[in-house]
């Protein structure tokens, strides 16, 4: 399982490094979404709003959706699907590999967006740095959950439009937990509850993925 | 025995619901604080109970049974699908009755209250389940994906509950049983509410039964068209 | 017997792709499936590869039951060459083949010889999407050489191959058959090469007529 996971993860990352879809399509989208968030806040609010962490996570969620679709589209190209299926890869390994690659991609994207948030939304730098561990764990959970939900919508009618409907309700508690822990790092407040939510979700999604990813393969 | 109970399901459901409305509207007294609004107590909690526990529970259990190889059958898939569909109706009713109750109590139709928010999120889950099913034509794939999604939803129920609960709460605490186990509601009000709970639970199973039968009929029709399509295909080029 | 199908039906979106196929295929035989567009050639190959599941009927491929067997283990034992091309477009020839070799636990050293055999050595580090259609088809064959499957399923392999490619392909098939593997090829017309003496399976309306 770990061998296949590593194989799939390095393959996904190599494709990403080569195609640069993340760099040229996803990141610019994230940055423009952050700028639009600042514009939506209005000139009086944008410099002193407490909405920064929430907007950061909202933008991150949308960016995550694009990245999940991209991650699944790699496997769904005509021909690729059939020939890779004949490799008979261990589904748990494929799940972990894709989740791992998506996690690393999401970490990079998240850190860039975090820099953008500090710049555009005027979030305090020190508090932001303190929030980094919780953000990385939340992004990991988003990637693991996203890999599962991405596989659920793959190959159906309109996977790109189906994905948000299927994924966003599951992302809601992660958004809450992420935003609250970010705010707690900035302004103080309870933290452990949010770690519990994110870590429990991470464990649950990982377990379900390892056990059931094979069930999602097309019959 | 089973046949008899199936036959009685409808009339008993109607009787209990009729009784709930009669007792709730005419017999029970108005509340000292909430006045006539308290009558929603006989409808809103039972509907929410069916929406969040009975129907979601049924769908989750049926989905687990579908994924477990020994109990895998299209019966389980149909039960999961049909109860999720009925669940959407009950979640909508929960939100509507909650909103009607919330307007005079909180002054707004929608409040960022913990239970209201988590119910709405679960409602989107139920709709997403139905959307996911529609997006897959292959019956096996549809059933498998639906079952995995239902299980993910069941896992999400406590996660959503606690996250939203900790996020903020305006809603009154548990209505009937307080945290120290004493009863909050007394006399005719309690009875009316209990009858409501049983009535709406039976209504769920009654609706589920009819929805299930409809699904069986649809599957039979699909099977007929398959036979026709097969015959047509075999005649190609002959 | 490598393949045994009895009244095999495969449905997709309410349409019978295969409408009752009866077929037996011997080990180390070359079988050519011909037929008009939409006759069910690709669907038959996909069924044999465990890529689509049997809706009704019976069948087994390389000893794996198509209804109750482990289709993943079946897929590991067949080689598939689709007509769309079959690999990750953003990986190079070498990277694609190394991925396949590692996934199946085959020695990575086989890659260079497979690439040489299909005549792609000069393009080994080229990204797959930069290859021509014919070169992609050669890559598909290299992918199969690395995999060394028991059952080769080739969906219209002659499409986009030049004359040299076709000749090379016929040689390759001869070697594969001599090695004891079984080959099923789909094509619009019967094979031109007479040396291989293939068995012709004609498909009409989702069924096979053996001629």
Domain boundaries, chain C: 3-88+150-210
Give which of A76, A79, A218 to mutate to test C binding, by max C Cβ within 10 Å.
A79
Q: Radius of gyration over alpha carbons of chain C, in Å?
A: 17
Residue C192 has pLDDT above 50, yes or no: yes
Q: Say how far apart CA C135 and CA C129 lie, in whole Å.
A: 10
Between the alpha carbon of residue C108 and those of residues A94, C87, C105, C112, the distances in Å are 20, 17, 9, 8
Tell me, yes or no, if A191 comes closer than 8 A to chain B by beta carbon: no
Tell me, yes or no, if C13 comes closer than 8 A to chain B by beta carbon: yes
Residue C161 has pLDDT above 80, yes or no: no
Q: Say how far apart CA C169 and CA C134 lie, in whole Å.
A: 12
Q: What percent of chain C has pLDDT over 90?
A: 33
Tell which C residues from 92 to 121 touch A, by Cβ distance under 8 Å.
95, 99-100, 102-104
Q: Quick one: pLDDT at residue A199?
A: 95
Look over chain B and give the mean of its residue pLDDT values, rounded to a whole number. 86
- Residue of C46, C84, C103 with shortest CB distance to A87: C103
Q: pLDDT tens digits, residue range A128-146?
A: 999 999 999 999 999 999 9
Domain positions in chain B are 42-174+182-235
Most confident of A61-65, C129-133, C161-165: A61-65
| Nearest of B48, B53, B79 to residue B64 by alpha carbon | B79
| Residues in CB range of C124: below 8 A, 6 or more apart | C92, C93, C94, C112, C115
Q: Quick one: pLDDT at residue B55?
A: 92
Mean pLDDT computed over B52-77: 93
CB A156 within 8 A of CB B136: yes
| Nearest of A98, A96, A113, A144 to residue A26 by alpha carbon | A113
Task: State which residues form the domain around A59.
Answer: 2-216
Of B57-66, B113-122, B178-187, minimum mean pLDDT range? B178-187
Q: pLDDT tens digits, residue range C71-81?
A: 888 988 898 88
Q: Quick one: pLDDT at residue B191?
A: 86
Q: For residue B40, how far is the Cα from the chain centroid?
A: 18
What is residue B182's DSSP assignment? -
Question: Encoding tokens for residue C79?
Answer: 């080689």
Residue A178 has pLDDT above 90, yes or no: yes
C14:B229 CB<8 A? yes
Question: Encoding tokens for residue C83?
Answer: 């007509």
Does the CA dihedral A73-A74-A78-A84 come out positive or negative?
A: negative
Q: Quick one: pLDDT at residue B170?
A: 47
What pTM value is reported for the model?
0.90
Residue B177 has pLDDT above 70, yes or no: no
Q: Say how far apart CA C47 and CA A136 lie, in whole Å.
A: 44
Does the CA dihedral B104-B105-B106-B112 come out positive or negative?
A: negative
Span C3-88+150-210: which CATH code?
3.40.50.300
Q: Say how far apart CA C30 and CA C181 lie, in whole Å.
A: 9
Strands C30-35 and C182-186: parallel
Q: pLDDT tens digits, residue range C8-65?
A: 999 888 889 999 999 999 998 999 999 888 889 999 999 999 988 898 999 999 999 9
C-beta atoms surrounding A146 within 10 Å: 29
C205:B137 CB<8 A? no
Question: How many structural domains comprise chain A?
Answer: 1
């Amino acid at each position: 399982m770990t061998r296949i996971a590593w194989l799939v993860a390095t393959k996904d990352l190599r494709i990403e490094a080569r195609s640069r879809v993340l760099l040229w399509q996803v990141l610019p989208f994230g940055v423009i979404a952050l700028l639009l968030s600042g514009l939506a806040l209005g000139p009086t609010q944008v410099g002193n709003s407490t909405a920064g962490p929430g907007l950061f996570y909202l933008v991150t969620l949308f960016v995550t959706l694009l990245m999940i679709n991209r991650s699944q589209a790699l496997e769904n190209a005509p021909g690729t699907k059939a020939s890779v299926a004949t490799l008979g890869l261990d589904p748990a390994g494929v799940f972990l590999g894709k989740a791992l690659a998506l996690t690393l991609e999401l970490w990079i994207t998240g850190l860039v967006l975090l820099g953008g948030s500090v710049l555009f939304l005027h979030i305090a730098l020190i508090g932001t740095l303190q929030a980094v561990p919780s953000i990385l764990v939340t992004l990991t959970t988003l990637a693991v959950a996203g890999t599962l939900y991405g596989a659920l919508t793959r190959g159906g009618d309109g996977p790109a439009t189906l994905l948000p409907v299927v994924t966003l309700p599951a992302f809601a508690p992660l958004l809450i937990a992420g935003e609250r822990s970010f705010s707690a790092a900035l302004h103080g407040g309870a933290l452990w509850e949010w770690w519990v939510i994110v870590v429990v979700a991470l464990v649950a999604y990982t377990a379900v993925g390892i056990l059931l990813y094979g069930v999602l393969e097309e019959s | 025995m089973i046949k008899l109970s199936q036959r009685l399901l409808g009339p008993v459901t109607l009787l209990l619901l009729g009784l709930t409305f009669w007792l709730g509207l005419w017999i029970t007294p108005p509340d000292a604080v909430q006045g006539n609004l308290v009558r929603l107590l006989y409808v809103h909690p039972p509907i929410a109970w069916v929406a969040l526990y009975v129907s979601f529970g049924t769908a989750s259990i049926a989905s687990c049974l579908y994924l477990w190889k020994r109990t895998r059958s299209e019966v389980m898939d149909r039960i999961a699908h049909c109860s999720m569909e009925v669940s959407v109706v009950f979640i909508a009713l929960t939100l509507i009755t909650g909103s009607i109750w919330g307007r005079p109590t909180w002054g707004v139709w929608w409040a960022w209250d913990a239970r209201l928010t988590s119910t709405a999120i679960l409602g989107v889950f139920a709709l997403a389940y139905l959307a996911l099913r529609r997006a897959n034509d292959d019956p096996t794939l549809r059933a498998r994906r639906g079952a995995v999604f239902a299980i993910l939803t069941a896992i999400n129920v406590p996660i959503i509950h606690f996250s939203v609960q900790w996020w903020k709460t305006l809603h009154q605490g548990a209505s009937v049983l307080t945290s120290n186990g004493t009863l909050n509601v007394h006399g005719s009000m309690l009875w009316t509410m209990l009858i409501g709970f049983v009535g709406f639970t039976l209504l769920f199973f009654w609706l589920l039964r009819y929805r299930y039968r409809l699904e069986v009929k649809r599957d039979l029709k699909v099977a007929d068209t398959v036979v026709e399509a097969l015959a047509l295909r075999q005649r190609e080029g002959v | 017997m490598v393949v045994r199908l009895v009244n095999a039906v495969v449905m997709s979106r309410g349409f019978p792709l295969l409408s009752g196929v009866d077929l037996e295929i011997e080990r180390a035989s070359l079988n050519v499936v011909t037929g008009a567009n939409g006759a069910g050639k690709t669907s038959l190959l996909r069924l044999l590869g465990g890529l689509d599941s049997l809706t009704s009927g019976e069948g087994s491929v390389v000893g794996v039951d198509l209804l109750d067997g482990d289709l993943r283990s079946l897929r590991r034992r067949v080689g598939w060459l689709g007509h769309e091309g079959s690999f990750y477009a953003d990986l190079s020839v070498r990277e694609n083949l190394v991925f396949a070799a590692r996934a199946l636990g085959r020695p990575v050293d086989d890659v260079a010889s497979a690439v040489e055999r299909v005549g792609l050595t000069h393009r080994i580090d080229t990204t797959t999407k930069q290859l021509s259609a014919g070169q992609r088809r050669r890559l598909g064959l290299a992918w199969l050489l690395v995999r060394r499957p028991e059952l080769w399923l080739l969906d219209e392999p002659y499409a986009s191959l030049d004359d040299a490619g076709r000749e090379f392909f016929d040689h390759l098939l001869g070697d594969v058959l001599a090695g004891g593997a079984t080959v099923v090829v789909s094509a619009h017309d019967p094979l031109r090469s007479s040396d291989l003496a293939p068995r012709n399976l004609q498909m009409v309306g989702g069924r096979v007529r053996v001629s």
